[in-house]
Amino acid sequence: MLARDDYAARARRYTAGRDEGRKRSATVARLRLATFLAAIGALTWWLGFDGQVPAFVTTAVLLGAFGVLVVVHSRIESRAEWCEAMRAVNARGIARIERRWDELPDAAPPAGIGIEEHPYAIDLDVFGRASLCQLLGPAATSFGRRTLAGWLLAPAPAAQIPARQQAAAALA
């Protein structure tokens, strides 16, 4: 199977997960609202109309249910956001393969790294639109961005080249 097909299959799976999560989120949000309004009604019954023990129990149960629904809703929302993030990662993988540069995040050099005077960074398009960095994809952390930039802007020591080639072969 081609990498593009893998990305597309995962993007479809995460899109379905995101859509299902959003649907469940809307349902739970409505349940939260209904539970909250019912709890307010029970509280009014208890405090305003001398509802005594049954009104107190009803209020406590409804507020407890509301609290549980808040937690459940938060988890559903988090999962839907995660699915959307994974969908975007896979869509960007397809964009990289198909060289659709405008659909990829900016690949500017990390802050504090100037390339204006570098001997080859501009000529070889190491950073920027349609660059090597944009093709490789964004690093997850600022340390990773700086490390990648350092590797691309400076030659490796001769002793490290075989180890890097072996690592690249293993990743391929």
Residue 46: predicted pLDDT: 84
- The average pLDDT across 44-55 equals 82
Is residue 45 within 8 A of residue 62, CB to CB? The reply is no
Higher pLDDT, residue 26 or 125: 26
The pTM of the full predicted model, rounded to 2 decimals, is 0.74
Q: What is the pLDDT of residues 65-117, one digit of tens each?
A: 999 999 999 999 999 999 999 999 999 999 999 999 999 888 888 888 888 88
What pLDDT shows up at residue 85?
96
Among the listed residues 165, 1, 6, 168, the one whose alpha carbon sits nearest the alpha carbon of residue 94: 6
Residue 137 has pLDDT above 70, yes or no: yes
pLDDT tens digits along 29-47: 999 999 999 999 998 888 8
Instruction: Write out the two tokens for 58.
Output: 């009803």
Q: Which residues contact 138 (CB under 8 A, 6 or more apart)?
A: 105, 107, 145
The one-letter amino acid code at 167 reads A
Helix (H, G, I), strand (E, B) or coil at 130: coil
| CA angle in degrees (0–180, nearest 5) for 146-149-154 | 125
